[in-house]
Amino acid sequence: MTGPASTEDRERSRIGTLLHLATTIASAGRTGLLLRTVAEEARVALEGRVLALTEWERARGTLRMVILTGPDGTDAPDGAAAAPRSLSERDRSPRLLGEGGAFVQSGEDPDGDGAVADFLGRHLLSRALVVPVPVEGRTWGEMWVGRRAEDPTFTEQDLEFAVVVAVHVGAGIGHDEHVRRMERLAYTDELTGLANRRAFEDALDVALDRHDAEGMPVAVIVLDVNGLKRVNDSLGHAAGDDLLVEFAAELVATTARDGVLPARLGGDEFCVLVTGWSGPDVAALAEEVCGRADRVLTEGVACGVAATQDLPDLRVTPSRLMRAADAAQYRAKRTGARTPVVLGGAGSPLAGPVEPPERRLFRGRVASDAGRLLDRIAAAIDEASEADRLSRLSAVAATVAEAIDGASWFVSSVEPGTDLVVTRGHGVLRRDPAAGEGFYAPETYPLDDYPATYAAITGSAVVVDVDDPRADPAEVGLLVLAGLAEMVMSGGTDPDGRRWLVEILGDELSASVRPYATVLRAGVALALR
């Protein structure tokens, strides 16, 4: 407390305080700090030793202290002071909160409010000024300002000024509540109450930062509600919304565990972020989610799972982890699976290591304008066995891969009358240590599962980039699992009716494969002639 000031000085100081309070509230951004700042400004303006803000919890009939500030910098109550206090009919607070007004209570008042008496005794105060705090037309709670015996007593002018200060404090609390509402709206899906896409993406960013810094495992479970369009078309969108709300409730019940965040990304797409869990535990959780989905969804969900444990660590980004999970979910959708497809997991159609040779030193890129590269391809074809198309196509693949400093290449074929792609030959020029011991690629796979491969094998030149949202998710899944960035592929049919496919795969050390698509297509056609 400072010494006595003249009435004129005090009035000037109080007007300045009100202006400062108004400016602080108007310029405030984040919550929390604002309330502490406003409370401390009010304490100083009212010449109090201690100031407390107590919130009236109407539904419970309790008063809860939320801010406590004093010269020592205290800004939060602790222990018994922080516990909500039930209000009785004998307390003055119910009348104050219901009717407004203000009062002063001394420590010797036997009929005083019990909560205020506790406040006085706890902080060695002799009297407290209690004033209601209005927020947006309702009484939010109370402001208690305490003084000690050696301090001046509260006057009528103090009570009048306290009412004005309480209005400003209420404006600060209203601003705080508004910002919190906006934050909830910004991060909450309006229909289901789950976290929305923005909240999920922010949480995924934080989780992968921890993965990079601490090695914490991160997994995502992508869920697509099957048959929602049919429900919307036959029963109306209200019925479809009810279905999504029911499924969201099941999802919340299943995932209410540490390290798990369920979210609705939009439409019929849901996602679950899982942090700090082992791969088998994540897979078990995904199984449980699918089982709970069958309770409310006639057609269940298509579920895909991807985890940092199954991907090369240095390659994990939010985009790639999500693309990997999307690729697994895409496989579940195409095959009609009612159980999760785990990218890279045991029995996954995307698993199956092929051992590469040892990593070679970075060689630098070979000069590769289209004309010179095509000449080199033609020369390599001439050196290969004229009757052996696999040898000729392998020469094309190896030449293009060398030109772009690619990571690997594959040559595959589809026998006449079948739709099964069979890997005939491959070369691994470089392996990123982050990709682990195995290089992932299926030895055989059905062509129907890979639309982009089908386009390439019938003569088109197709480029797949893991960061391109338009890319085929099935192809992206293979690239992500191998720690690769891009792929260019083309193919054609030989005179015997056998279809061939050549794939060149690049990592982040390779030149972009896109400029070589036309050259690869021409080289494959030349080799098949």
The full set of domains in the chain, from first to last, is: 7-186 (3.30.450.40), 197-351 (3.30.70.270), 354-528 (3.30.450.40)
Give Dmax (Cα) for the chain: 110
Q: pTM higher than 0.75 for the full model?
A: no
At 377-419, the pLDDT tens digits run 888 888 887 768 899 999 999 999 988 888 889 999 998 888 8
Whether pLDDT at 274 is above 60: yes
Question: Per-residue pLDDT for 57 more than 50?
Answer: yes
Question: What are residue 493's DSSP bridge partners?
Answer: 499
Q: Write down the pLDDT at residue 437.
A: 37
Please tell me the predicted confidence (pLDDT) of residue 405: 84
pLDDT at 443: 67
What lies within 8 Å, CB to CB, of 495 at 6+ separation is: none
Q: What is the DSSP letter of 29?
A: -
Nearest of 453, 501, 452, 449 to residue 330 by alpha carbon: 449
Higher-confidence position of 185 and 137: 137
Residue 435 pLDDT grade (very low, low, confident, very high; cuts 50, 70, 90): very low
Strand partners, 195: 188, 263
Reply yes or no on whether the pLDDT at 284 is more than 90: yes
* Cα-Cα-Cα-Cα dihedral sign, residues 99, 103, 106, 110: negative
Closest CA to 407 of 354, 458, 345: 354
Which residue in 102, 46, 51 sits closest to 77, CA to CA?
Answer: 51
- Predicted local confidence at residue 75, as pLDDT: 47
Phi/psi of residue 495, nearest 5 degrees: -60, -20
**Residue 321: its pLDDT value, please?**
86
Lowest mean pLDDT among 21-30, 53-62, 145-154: 21-30
Neighbours of 15 (CB within 10 A): 10
**Helical axes 370-383 vs 517-528, angle rounded to 10°:** 30
Taking a C-beta distance cutoff of 8 angstroms, is the pair 385, 323 a contact? Answer: no
Q: How confident is the model at residue 97 (pLDDT cuts 50, 70, 90)?
A: low
- Residues 64-96: tens digit of each pLDDT: 888 888 876 554 455 445 556 666 544 555 555
Q: Read off the pLDDT band of 501 (50, 70, 90).
A: very high
**What pLDDT sits at residue 318?**
86
- The model's pLDDT over 381-392, given as tens digits with 9 standing for 90+, comes to 888 877 688 999
Q: What is the residue type of 87?
A: L
d(C-alpha 363, C-alpha 511), whole Å: 12
Query: What's the pLDDT at 269?
Result: 92
Tokens of 444: 């055989």
